[in-house]
Amino acid sequence: MSGEIETKLRGPGAYTLARQTMDAMEAHQVWPTAVNFELWAHYVAAPDSALGREIARLLSTGEAFTDTLADELAATYLPKAKLNDQIRDAGDALTKELDAVSRAIETAQKSSEAYGQTLAGASKSLTQHDSVDLKETVSILLEATKRVQRENKALEQRLAESTSQVTKLREHLEQVRRDATTDGLTNLSNRKAFDEELERACADAQAQGQRLTLAVIDIDHFKTFNDTWGHQTGDQVIRYVASVIGRVGAPPRFAARYGGEEFALIFPHESADIAVAVLEEIREEVSSRMLKRRSTNDDLGAITVSAGLAELHGGESAHMLMERADSALYVSKRSGRNRVTSAEAIASAA
């Protein structure tokens, strides 16, 4: 939860805000889950915020406030503070661990220096004084040697423990990164990860003079399907289509859920012709399976998808490429759906 909203919920008006939030949720028949409460607290407390405006827009369209929609809103508007907290906590732990290792190494260095000085002193005594008590000198060296051995053993143990701890922290940070860039429903990359990857891929392709193709894929008549069978069955369909796209779009291709029932697929170093063949494979596989409703085993029929794609032009930005791929998708939709349209083919025909 953002700092501003959290402060309000811990201040004098906390109960008033909480009651207003619950009243608003009840008025719109929204279940009082933790995620929903956090979203609606933002909406009630800060209606002019980006999240507040988006919820107001959704309410004006009459769209049902489902768990899937709530998860999408949370993934878009809420994770930054949580993610920053997790990264900060892991970073603080890593810093403390490295500080402890540095102190242990510093102690070992001082111990080694002291041991060297002891050896030098003993050597000087043996050289300059024939009458030196050899037994006493040997005793001093033996004690110094044992002390250094103990400290080195302690350092080795501390380094081994730190190595294990650093490994765990690295794994935790990697999991946080994966969670922040993964769509919870489909396990594909999310919109945030896609936007970053498209910018990077376009920049690399332009710098290296390599080909790059972008495709956007949309489930046909999904709203009608959702209204007929319900959102849980709609989620089942989204996961099915995502599984096909994710398998065909495995690395080095980059598959993502762009939002709702729309997906995106980046083809590094691949031309529009290759992308068309891949998208036809996806389209045919998706439509070839007769789906059943998981809860009742009712026949749902076949699902179809439409796709549009564009190949990167010299000097073109990621935004411009996305617009051309999106325009090609709309051509597929207007032409009867269940088809693939290339922006390059449209340009050639024109």
Tell me the residue range of the domain where 268 lies. Answer: 191-349
Helices (H), ranges, 182-271: 191-208, 222-229, 231-248
Residue 186 lies in a domain: no
Label residue 39 exposed, middle or buried (CB < 10 Å: 0-12, 13-18, 19+). buried
Q: Quick check: is 287 in a domain?
A: yes
Residues 173 and 243 grouped into a single domain: no
- 244 and 173 belong to one structural domain: no
Does residue 330 share a domain with residue 201?
Answer: yes
Q: Could you tell me which residues are beta bridge partners of residue 255?
A: 265
Q: What is the pTM of this model?
A: 0.57
Contact between residue 257 and residue 185 where contact means Cβ atoms under 8 Å apart: yes
- Shared domain for 102 and 63, answered yes or no, is no
Q: Provide the number of structural domains found in the chain.
A: 3
**Residues 91 and 213 reside in one and the same domain:** no
Choose one of 156, 181, 206: the last residue of a domain.
181
SS3 content of the chain, % helix, strand, coil (to 5): 70, 10, 20
Write b or e for each residue in 222-232: b if 16 or more Cβ atoms lie within 10 A of its Cβ, otherwise e. beebbeebeee
- How would you write the pLDDT of the chain (350 residues) with one tens digit per residue? 455 555 565 556 677 788 888 888 888 888 888 778 888 888 888 888 888 888 988 888 888 888 788 888 887 777 554 545 555 565 566 666 666 666 665 666 566 556 555 655 655 555 555 544 565 665 666 676 677 667 767 766 766 676 666 666 666 666 666 777 888 889 999 998 999 999 999 999 999 999 999 999 999 999 888 888 888 888 889 999 999 999 999 999 999 999 889 999 999 999 999 999 999 999 999 999 888 777 777 787 889 999 999 999 999 999 999 999 999 999 999 999 999 999 988 888 76
Residues marked active site are found at 261
Residues 249 and 272 in one domain: yes
Whether residues 338 and 197 fall in one domain: yes
CB 165 within 8 A of CB 97: yes
CA nearest neighbour of 267 among 276, 118, 259: 276
